[in-house]
């Protein structure tokens, strides 16, 4: 059986760095709380003329260029985003055009911050089923345009960016070994953008703020700690893998305190959890691919290593993947 083996990874974050002290719409005392609550010191914001697919194509090009892989050879493109270019068509369609991947079928998925784990599992399924010989998975998010700049519960904690992973069918023991995916739809209002869809069309908005991203912070924290711990523990148990065998745990980069608590609950040293939210903030579904690419480029993980990715987000949704590089 063919496995979905990672051939290359890459990431892109906009050049515009916004530090906590630049968020002068909030009091100085509030600015100090940002890093204390989440660890975020700065975040990247896209330029005014950039849209999500513009971020996606930079990460995608870098990924293919790393191994001199022609865009024309790409068989499939999956884009994970909860901040798409438009309601329709799929952001992946414009990415396919910009990239010049003329032979690829392309589509979007949206599991908010969990999109990375869902996308990795889906890429693995497409390859194992024989549907395609390779999959370019790209997660791209541009939250600076869907956040209320005056909302302290959301605006300071998110950033923009994109990450890409090229999977290719290969025989052997390397690749995506297994995944766990889950959803609890009873929490569909916990993390959401209320307005703009068919449930609340723009012309029916009574409050313009309903067009912005919203979340219930305390509920999200408790959910992420509980389900992040649970899904990693279940993943390791289901595939008979001891935590000590895993080289690196790459979790959704929402909050340093969430990751520290997950590590504590699992009894795993926190230094085996890669973290970069300090520099980029929460980049939603792009956070795991960005962190994954950084860990590989820094040599923290190498061929043959076991890696666990895990994420949690809107839906509510959560998931994890066990991967041998």
Residues assigned a catalytic role: 113, 252, 282
The most distant pair of C-alpha atoms in the chain lies apart, rounded to whole Å, by: 58
Nearest-10 crossing angle of helices 287-297, 115-128: 70
State CA 212 to chain mean position distance. 20
Which sign does the torsion angle of CA 226, 216, 194, 88 carry?
A: negative
Phi, psi at residue 108, to the nearest 5°? -100, 155
Beta strands in the chain (DSSP E): 3-12, 17-19, 42-44, 76-80, 105-109, 134-142, 160-170, 175-183, 191-192, 214-215, 246-251, 306-313, 317-324
User: E-assigned strands of 46-190?
Assistant: 76-80, 105-109, 134-142, 160-170, 175-183
Nearest to 2 by CA among 104, 95, 111, 75: 75
Token readout for 216 is: 């219930």
Q: Report CA-CA distances (Å) from 193 to 8, 24, 190, 196, 302.
A: 33, 25, 10, 8, 39
The length of the chain in residues reads 325
- Encoded tokens for 74: 């790409």
């Amino acid at each position: 059986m063919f496995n979905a083996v990672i051939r290359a990874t890459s990431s892109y974050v906009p050049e515009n760095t916004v530090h906590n002290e630049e968020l002068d719409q909030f009091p100085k005392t509030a600015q100090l709380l940002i890093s204390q609550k989440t660890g975020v010191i700065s975040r990247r914001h896209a330029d005014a003329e950039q849209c999500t697919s513009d971020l996606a194509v930079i990460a995608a090009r870098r990924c293919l260029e790393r191994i001199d892989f022609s865009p024309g050879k790409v068989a499939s493109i999956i884009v994970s985003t909860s901040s798409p270019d438009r309601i329709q068509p799929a952001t992946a369609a414009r990415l396919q055009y910009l990239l010049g991947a003329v032979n690829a079928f392309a589509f979007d998925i949206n599991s908010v911050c969990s999109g990375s784990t869902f996308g990795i599992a889906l890429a693995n399924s497409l390859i194992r089923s024989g549907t395609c010989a390779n999959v370019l998975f790209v997660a791209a998010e541009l939250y600076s345009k869907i956040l209320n700049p005056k909302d302290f519960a959301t605006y300071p904690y998110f950033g923009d960016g994109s990450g890409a992973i090229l999977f290719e069918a290969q025989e052997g023991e390397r690749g995506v070994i297994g995944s766990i995916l889950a959803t609890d739809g009873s929490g569909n209002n916990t993390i959401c953008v209320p307005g703009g869809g068919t449930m609340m069309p723009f012309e029916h908005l009574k409050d313009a703020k309903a067009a912005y991203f919203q979340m219930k912070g305390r509920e999200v924290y408790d959910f992420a700690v509980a389900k992040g711990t649970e899904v990693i523990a279940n993943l390791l148990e289901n595939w008979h893998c001891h935590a000590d065998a895993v080289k690196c745990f790459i979790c959704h980069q929402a909050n340093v305190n969430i990751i520290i608590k997950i590590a504590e609950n699992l009894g795993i040293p926190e230094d085996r959890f890669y973290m970069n939210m300090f520099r980029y903030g929460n980049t939603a579904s792009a956070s795991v691919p960005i962190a994954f690419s950084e860990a590989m480029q820094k040599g923290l993980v190498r061929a043959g290593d076991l890696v666990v990715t895990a994420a949690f987000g809107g839906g509510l949704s959560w998931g994890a993947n066990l991967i041998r590089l």
